[in-house]
Amino acid sequence: MQKEKILVIGASGQIGVELTMALRNLYGNANVVASDLREENELLKGTGPYVSLDVMNKEMLHVQVIRQNITQIYLLAAILSATGEKNPNLAWNLNMQGLLNVLDIAREEKIKKVYWPSSIAVFGPTSPKKNCPQQTIIEPITVYGISKYAGEFWCNYFNKRFGVDVRSLRYPGLISYKSEPGGGTTDYAIEIFHDAIEEKKYECFLKKDTYLPMMYMPDAIRATIELMEAPQKRISVRTSYNISAISFSPAEIAASIKKRIPEFQIKYKPDYRQVIAESWPQSIDDSVAKKDWHWKPEYDLEKLTDDMLKNIK
């Protein structure tokens, strides 16, 4: 049987660092090649192979895939919602062309599996706010959301037309402490922990009652690996699966922190990210992922707060 050799693109980012480490535990350090445009993240150094790679350079990417005998690709390189609004052309180009480069090479080289994340950002103001279903009205208002929705259809197309086994999750806002977040609207839920510990206060860029779907990184990594390990016959969604864990507002996460750091104070100064947050659902219905590959989250807000504070300290 052919040994798996995995390429992670965007490995120095918030998800990439933790996903690369999890894949290295599973497949062996030497069999997971980390790659990124920026330098290797400190936490990855010495744990396995690293190559400098621009996903926009298709020839270079193709050479690496052949040279390293790659059998699976995880594509994480993207520009997120808040940064995307500052440079829509750049976000569209990277998020679309990067994906098309990977899908084309996957088809040509008969790559066994491709992973590409979508986001709750595909949903827009006309989607249901509560328990937003897998299939519903989808009219995103950010360039990031538009690129993710178009990307979902490219994944579906390459699967149906060319048989590429590409799988995807619509991640909610991901909360973690190992590597920095990359410019999203949900980043407040990470910054708040750092400021609570360092300054005992936080100025939030969203209003106090802005509910958003969120997930702790260990749940997101486990969801990704469970999806990728599931037998093909269990994968009924080839656009992207809704997944869900927790939903909370800035006031609720602040209260959870205050229980553990009583002197913590929060102020609210909403900026352009408020409009983005308000366009997204407050909670997500993930019953299809539960049915297809038995998805189940573990972390609630209390468990997440304990773990974040313990580890950042």
Instruction: Name the residues annotated as catalytic.
Output: 144
Q: Does 171 bind ligand NAD (CB under 6 A)?
A: yes
The Cα 253–Cα 302 span in angstroms is 9
Q: Which of 6, 55, 105, 143 binds ligand NAD (CB under 6 A)?
A: 55
Among 33, 36, 71, 196, binds ligand NAD (CB under 6 A): 36
Point out which span in 38-46, 108-116, 183-191, 303-311 binds ligand AKB (CB under 6 A): 183-191
Annotate 215-228 with b (16+ C-beta within 10 A) or e (fewer).
bbbbbbbebbbbbb
Shortest spacing between CB 23 and ligand NAD, in angstroms: 14
Decide: 12 and 39 in contact? Cβ < 8 Å: yes
Chain residue whose CB lies nearest ligand AKB: 184
Residue 147, contacted partner among ligand AKB, ligand NAD, none, CB below 5-8 A by kind: none
Residue 64 · residue 53 · CB < 8 Å: yes
- Out of 71, 95, 119, 147, point to the residue binding ligand AKB (CB under 6 A): 119
Helix (H, G, I), strand (E, B) or coil at 294: coil
228 close to 115: Cβ distance less than 8 angstroms? yes
Tracing tokens 């106090």 back to the chain, one arrives at 208
Q: State which residue, 17 or 164, has the beta carbon closest to ligand AKB.
A: 17
> Could you give the CA distance from residue 1 to residue 219 in angstroms, rounded to a whole number?
30
H or E element in which residue 33 lies:
strand 32-36
Q: Does the footprint of ligand NAD cover residue 56 (CB under 6 A)?
A: yes
Q: Tell me: does residue 20 bind ligand NAD (CB under 6 A).
A: no
Nearest Cα to 134, choosing from 290, 248, 246, 249? 290
Residues that bind ligand NAD (CB under 6 A): 9-10, 12-16, 36-38, 53-56, 76-78, 80, 94, 117, 119, 171, 173-174, 181-182, 184, 186
Residues that bind ligand AKB (CB under 6 A): 80-81, 119-121, 144, 173, 184-186
